[in-house]
Structure 1
């Protein structure tokens, strides 16, 4: 069959690659432009400041030529700083004005623009001011220095965005550029972008897997830690799924491609991280609302400051300096950076640790959780039943190896999950016994299987079914009682009308479950076990891992109702952790749905947080990261608000009547830039975050 009919090509214009390239190019272009403008602004501003030194120091004549210290020279030097280097501030302010609103650009443009215009009037009409007894001073250096400092803040912000997107770039770099694909029976090296769904790809030791697929031939150990956080290589053989960008450690194998392009696990991870970094939290929306009314209030305060000082002093230059200082120091750049910078850093750090947040709101809400509901099968347990006990009755007529061969032959016809566990156990322990031919086979729904092998009737199923069939099950009662106390499911075996043995089957608890539950309780959360299994089985599992509250025997469709009931009882916010198709409604109903990355696509799609490795340690790690992030955001907002609350009165001249000291607009600009730098630096501290309990990601 031709591969052309088996799927669509992953075209070279992969949406994920296009978006990544576009974002990187846009950021690189922005950084280049900002560096160029900041360099020009720094040189010109340095010359303007040098030109004003004689005036500021009270030195006249001698060491600097008169043409250099002239207001006209300062005008020529400062004008490009404002209207070329700082052009975006003025165009942004004009755009806001046309929308009848105001923003950070408004304050910067108004503060520097007024200082420059006042200086221009003093340069063009100095006699007009001196005739009124006012000094014809110019403040070109003030406007230039402020613009240069604000540009420095913008450059730092852009660099921070680049650093917080590093996790995405590192993820994208994991995928190899080429794949070795069999075409017409020949292995050919082709670009990954041209691989089709259904292609057979060969992977050699030490190579990265180019795409997602299912192993068809060969076996190996594959390291998936860079994507799932699984710390040790995972054995892969025919029928096992493999993930693109994981590393093949030992053997050589071939796999059939199942996902390409934007459908691959890697592309989906990248897209989820991008969505989280571009989304908004409730705190950020509140901050945006605050900025919306804060800017007009500041402008009103600045105008009032100008009027008061002009009426008190009659000095328009002094009043203008106070006005400019208020506008500049109140610029809420730090307020605008407080939340998004922290969200970008935390989302990227989460991706490095195998924690994918679908939105910033999920990152925010996770820290305030009060109740964690854990699904049992596939979440607390491995989700793959295993035979834990094989008990034969004394005096059995059938030898152990022969009995296991009979059971393996019969149960291999069944599709029941417990049958798979019995077959795996029996075939691994039957020795050299050859499986006999099964003459007849019948699956008794909910009861067991009935077969004829070599003329003998073989039954494997529940005790109640065997007893109802007229068999004497009493000899098994002590064994069954012991197994059921240990929360084992029991399957009895009867050959030719005689009970021979029974199997104890259990879904093993994940090795990390005990530590994860202990960590959740240490974080102050109530942990609830939710299961559709029998209450006795659920209670044994819960007691083993340290969970007190158990809600068992819940039908799949009722799990969402259980979550809703917990919310209505005031135990929210509630998080649901699950992995199966039947967990999807509950995941969507909870304030935070946490899906195991090893679960179904539907569960992952319905969740707010995905644990790529399926490791339960990711649950407390996600909550830790959320709490650390929200603490950082609160610190940033405090820095921003405290800075403005303390700075505006001083800039408005509160200390001037008492001390004669006024806040120079240049110092106000420097303080504003320092505030933004402190917020960005505080957010970048999140890059050092490490889960207290376990590293759950491979990029960390």
Structure 2
């Protein structure tokens, strides 16, 4: 920020001195302003003042001269070198002509008044360049401010428990395994796991979502989020630079300061371009002198060529867009690990999406309850039996059924003789209507084997069609029976994640081909694909984890592939893909393997990461086109190529203005990225399971 203040201060001084120079030159006459007689009648004294003021402008902008001259000495001229050469040429020529007039002409006052001097041009060139530098610094500042704002969110102290006593320590003193306290309103100092207490936590610093998240024992809290209500006791799991928030700040910093391939190409072109401009300037001077024009006119054309050329626009075209894109991404929970990641993501042609946890929630829920009798009493009895059997299982389907039954407050039954039949189901003994019965839960084949005679016939006739329908809908049915006959069916399904449908539609609008890869069975996969509008041929099911990377490798033969996933089994495919995109709620392994990390647990953020990258690339291409087109027109005009035929000519002052406007255009064009809008999704009112069934 101090650099920006220095540039602003120097710009103000340069602008004031330049205005005075214009006033002392032709400005007072053009604007019909009063002019002191002592200056009007003493041209030599006026000349000395103009030289001194010009030297002051040069001194104020000495950093530019130091850098520009140093680059020339080291044979690596840059944009600053062109400005310095042009400004020095204007100043030295004007001073030399003035000195010669004073020495060799008796009536010096009259001759000096007729001579073409460029003191004002020298000052204006430096002032306009300072304006461009300030705008460039402001653009950089917006990114660095975003990083600073992120860093400032981190608390400086933590409240830890030592020997049962609360003790406030600096954040650097907290170690993994320490127990820390969170009181209402406190920022979370480090990543940790809640050991006791419940609360609501504002995680907007990480996810961008303003809605608080309810927390309870066993759940994770992240550094720089805010505890809103309850009293929590937590155990530190990650500290310092290892916290999720610190990694986010580092990613934003790395991607902002990194150099994308397109930026490197622009820099190489710019280096050649600068040398070519210097040579062209010399040639311009020689040609006009050979054509019989005076030294003043020829030098003016050479200076104009130096000044009008704008390698700054060329060299800024990519970096300022990359900085802006990275900063905008971080504001929306999209973290590009490198500048190259930001560039490559927008070139995606094919997106491969993992199903479970990415397109779906990864948490199965009960969708259907079919009992032998349709009344509530029999449904609740079925749920009680289901809970009694499934409560002893750790399977996700069993957990979904138990969670649902708990919400319905069904009576709890005691079981004995519990037995699990691997790959088929479970059975146990319990008391129904005062009598002992054996009850079963499991697959269709397991129940069919468990029921005998007439009971099996009833099962086939009454439930087979219903079960087939559930399977066709992508649901997982669990059948329940007793030794007296069928009890019913409870189906569960992994819900499609909010925003997944809008994300798939948005990808299609971007002309991106979507494939879904999953280890789930064919019927379930095709059902989910159909709901999301993914073509049947693009649904690849029953895929082993090690096979995902091979599928991605094969797809790369037809276009640039982005893999989106969240689990350990997605990591190899994320690495193989041209761009790996990890859902932020996923595993550390997946996040480490990815090129882009999405803080929000939403596929829509993946779409936005591609859209933002595309917008950034579009801005870069626009900037490069402008830089080349501007120079293609500006340099011939400055050199005087159209002077004899059409009388078109640009003097050094106009060239300086044009050069700075070119840089300003590139910078402001890149800053348009800050108006980026994320993809909107329709938020459905959540309905409880009891309302659905």
In structure 1, how many angstroms separate the alpha carbons of the residues matched to 2:682 and 2:252?
19
Distance of aligned partners of 1:695 and 1:93 in 2 relative to their CA distance in 1, 3 Å threshold: farther
In structure 1, how many angstroms separate the alpha carbons of the residues matched to 2:275 and 2:66?
18
RMSD, aligned α-carbons: 3.3
CA contact (8 A) 2:300 2:652 kept: yes
Which one is further off, 299-308 or 416-425? Answer: 416-425
Unaligned runs of at least 5 residues, structure 1: 1-27
Which one is further off, 381-390 or 47-56? Answer: 47-56
Partner of 2:688: none
In structure 2, how many angstroms separate the alpha carbons of the residues matched to 1:695 and 1:486?
23
Structure 1 residues 116-175: Cα deviation after superposition (integer angstroms, max 9, x where no partner):
2223433444478879x9986543332222112112211111112112333323322333
Once the two structures are TM-superposed, the CA of residue 226 in structure 1 deviates from its matched residue by: 3.7
Partner of 2:252: 273
Matched position secondary structure for 1:385: strand
TM-score, normalising length: structure 1: 0.86
The alignment status of 1:573 with 2:560, answered yes or no, reads yes
Q: Given the alignment, which residue of 207, 214, 230 partners 1:228?
A: 207
The alignment status of 1:97 with 2:75, answered yes or no, reads no
Partner of 1:15: none
Q: Given the alignment, which residue of 483, 500, 503 partners 2:470?
A: 483
Partner of 2:614: 627
Distance of aligned partners of 1:497 and 1:211 in 2 relative to their CA distance in 1, 3 Å threshold: farther
Partner of 2:544: 555
Matched position secondary structure for 2:572: helix
Partner of 1:388: 367
Structure 1 residues 214-255: Cα deviation after superposition (integer angstroms, max 9, x where no partner):
222222333323421345332221112222233334443333
Matched position secondary structure for 1:165: helix
Partner of 2:96: 121
Which one is further off, 514-523 or 559-568? Answer: 514-523
Matched position secondary structure for 2:39: coil
Structure 1 residues 68-123: Cα deviation after superposition (integer angstroms, max 9, x where no partner):
854333333222422x3333333333443344332212211211122222234334
Once the two structures are TM-superposed, the CA of residue 295 in structure 1 deviates from its matched residue by: 0.8
Partner of 1:524: 511
The alignment status of 1:320 with 2:299, answered yes or no, reads yes
CA contact (8 A) 1:384 1:508 kept: yes
CA contact (8 A) 1:205 1:252 kept: yes
In structure 2, how many angstroms separate the alpha carbons of the residues matched to 1:545 and 1:172?
39
Partner of 2:414: 436
CA contact (8 A) 1:401 1:430 kept: no
Partner of 1:261: 240
CA contact (8 A) 1:130 1:136 kept: no
In structure 1, how many angstroms separate the alpha carbons of the residues matched to 2:235 and 2:330?
27
Distance of aligned partners of 1:173 and 1:451 in 2 relative to their CA distance in 1, 3 Å threshold: farther
The alignment status of 1:303 with 2:278, answered yes or no, reads no
Q: Given the alignment, which residue of 126, 139, 164 partners 2:118?
A: 139
Map 1:117-196 to 2 at 5 A.
Answer: 117-126=92-101, 138-196=117-175
In structure 2, how many angstroms separate the alpha carbons of the residues matched to 1:395 and 1:355?
49
In structure 1, how many angstroms separate the alpha carbons of the residues matched to 2:245 and 2:294?
65
Once the two structures are TM-superposed, the CA of residue 557 in structure 1 deviates from its matched residue by: 0.7
Which one is further off, 221-230 or 600-609? Answer: 221-230
Q: Given the alignment, which residue of 86, 99, 104 partners 1:111?
A: 86
Matched position secondary structure for 1:587: helix
In structure 1, how many angstroms separate the alpha carbons of the residues matched to 2:647 and 2:509?
56
Distance of aligned partners of 1:54 and 1:409 in 2 relative to their CA distance in 1, 3 Å threshold: closer
Partner of 1:691: 678
Q: Given the alignment, which residue of 672, 679, 688 partners 2:659?
A: 672
Q: Given the alignment, which residue of 315, 337, 344 partners 1:365?
A: 344
Once the two structures are TM-superposed, the CA of residue 617 in structure 1 deviates from its matched residue by: 1.7
In structure 2, how many angstroms separate the alpha carbons of the residues matched to 1:578 and 1:418?
22
CA contact (8 A) 1:126 1:136 kept: no
Once the two structures are TM-superposed, the CA of residue 178 in structure 1 deviates from its matched residue by: 3.5
Distance of aligned partners of 1:127 and 1:71 in 2 relative to their CA distance in 1, 3 Å threshold: closer
Map 1:296-695 to 2 at 5 A.
Answer: 296-393=275-372, 404=383, 407-408=386-387, 410-433=389-412, 436=414, 442=420, 444-449=421-426, 459-467=440-448, 475=459, 476-494=463-481, 500-548=487-535, 549-568=538-557, 570=558, 572-658=559-645, 662-694=649-681
Matched position secondary structure for 1:436: coil
Once the two structures are TM-superposed, the CA of residue 45 in structure 1 deviates from its matched residue by: 3.0
Matched position secondary structure for 2:291: helix
Once the two structures are TM-superposed, the CA of residue 458 in structure 1 deviates from its matched residue by: 5.6
Distance of aligned partners of 1:229 and 1:495 in 2 relative to their CA distance in 1, 3 Å threshold: farther
Which one is further off, 233-242 or 361-370? Answer: 361-370
Once the two structures are TM-superposed, the CA of residue 632 in structure 1 deviates from its matched residue by: 2.1
Q: Given the alignment, which residue of 38, 52, 60 partners 1:85?
A: 60
The alignment status of 1:71 with 2:52, answered yes or no, reads no
In structure 2, how many angstroms separate the alpha carbons of the residues matched to 1:354 and 1:613?
6
CA contact (8 A) 2:499 2:682 kept: no
Distance of aligned partners of 1:253 and 1:312 in 2 relative to their CA distance in 1, 3 Å threshold: same
Once the two structures are TM-superposed, the CA of residue 469 in structure 1 deviates from its matched residue by: 6.4
Matched position secondary structure for 1:214: strand
In structure 1, how many angstroms separate the alpha carbons of the residues matched to 2:184 and 2:36?
78
Which one is further off, 453-462 or 663-672? Answer: 453-462
In structure 2, how many angstroms separate the alpha carbons of the residues matched to 1:493 and 1:621?
45
In structure 1, how many angstroms separate the alpha carbons of the residues matched to 2:290 and 2:315?
35
Distance of aligned partners of 1:467 and 1:262 in 2 relative to their CA distance in 1, 3 Å threshold: same
Distance of aligned partners of 1:492 and 1:68 in 2 relative to their CA distance in 1, 3 Å threshold: farther
CA contact (8 A) 2:519 2:542 kept: yes
Structure 1 residues 359-401: Cα deviation after superposition (integer angstroms, max 9, x where no partner):
23333333332222211100110011223233344699x9866
Matched position secondary structure for 1:617: helix
In structure 2, how many angstroms separate the alpha carbons of the residues matched to 1:240 and 1:504?
28
Once the two structures are TM-superposed, the CA of residue 294 in structure 1 deviates from its matched residue by: 0.9
Once the two structures are TM-superposed, the CA of residue 658 in structure 1 deviates from its matched residue by: 4.2
Partner of 2:191: 212
Distance of aligned partners of 1:279 and 1:295 in 2 relative to their CA distance in 1, 3 Å threshold: same
Matched position secondary structure for 1:255: strand
In structure 2, how many angstroms separate the alpha carbons of the residues matched to 1:545 and 1:289?
46
In structure 2, how many angstroms separate the alpha carbons of the residues matched to 1:61 and 1:400?
104
Partner of 1:21: none
